[in-house]
Amino acid sequence: MKLDSVQIRNLRNLQHVTFKPSHGVNFILGINGSGKSSILEAIHYLGFGRSFRTSKHKNVIQNEQESFTVFCECLEDSTTQRLGLSRSINDTVSVSINGIKGNKVSDLVSLLPVQIFTPQSSDILLGAPKLRRKYIDWCLFHVEHSFLTCSSAYSKLLKHNNALCRKQQVGYANPQRVYWTDLLAQYGSQLTEFRNGMMTRLIPLITSNLAQFLPEFCVEISYYRGWEKGLELNEALSKAADRDYKNGYISVGPHKADVRFRISGKPAHEVLSRGQLRMLVAALQLATTQCLMSYTQKTCIFLLDDVGAELDAAKREVFIDKLLESNTQLFVTAIEEHQLEFIDKYQNKKMFHVEHGQVREES
- List binding-site positions for ATP: 30-37
In sign, the C-alpha dihedral spanning 291, 294, 298, 303 is positive
Q: Give binding residues as ranges.
A: 30-37
Phi/psi for 76 (5° steps) reads -145, 120
79-88: strand order across its sheet: 14-19, 2-11, 67-76, 79-88, 93-97, 100-102
Cα–Cα distance, 264 to 262 (Å, whole number): 6
For residue 3, which of 98, 106, 82 has the smallest C-alpha distance?
82
In sign, the C-alpha dihedral spanning 166, 168, 174, 176 is negative
In sign, the C-alpha dihedral spanning 244, 249, 255, 259 is negative
Cα–Cα distance, 266 to 64 (Å, whole number): 51
In sign, the C-alpha dihedral spanning 345, 346, 350, 354 is negative
Return the exposure string of 4-35: e unless at least 16 CB atoms fall within 10 Å of the residue's CB, then b. bebebbbbbbbeebebebbbbbbbbbbeeebb
Cα–Cα distance, 313 to 271 (Å, whole number): 23
Phi/psi for 95 (5° steps) reads -115, 140
DSSP secondary structure string for all residues of 73-132: EEEETTEEEEEEEEEETTS-EEEEETTEEE--HHHHHTTS-EEEE-TTTTHHHHS-HHHH
Return the exposure string of 116-130: e unless at least 16 CB atoms fall within 10 Å of the residue's CB, then b. bbbebbbebbeeeee
For residue 16, which of 363, 303, 356, 361 has the smallest C-alpha distance?
356
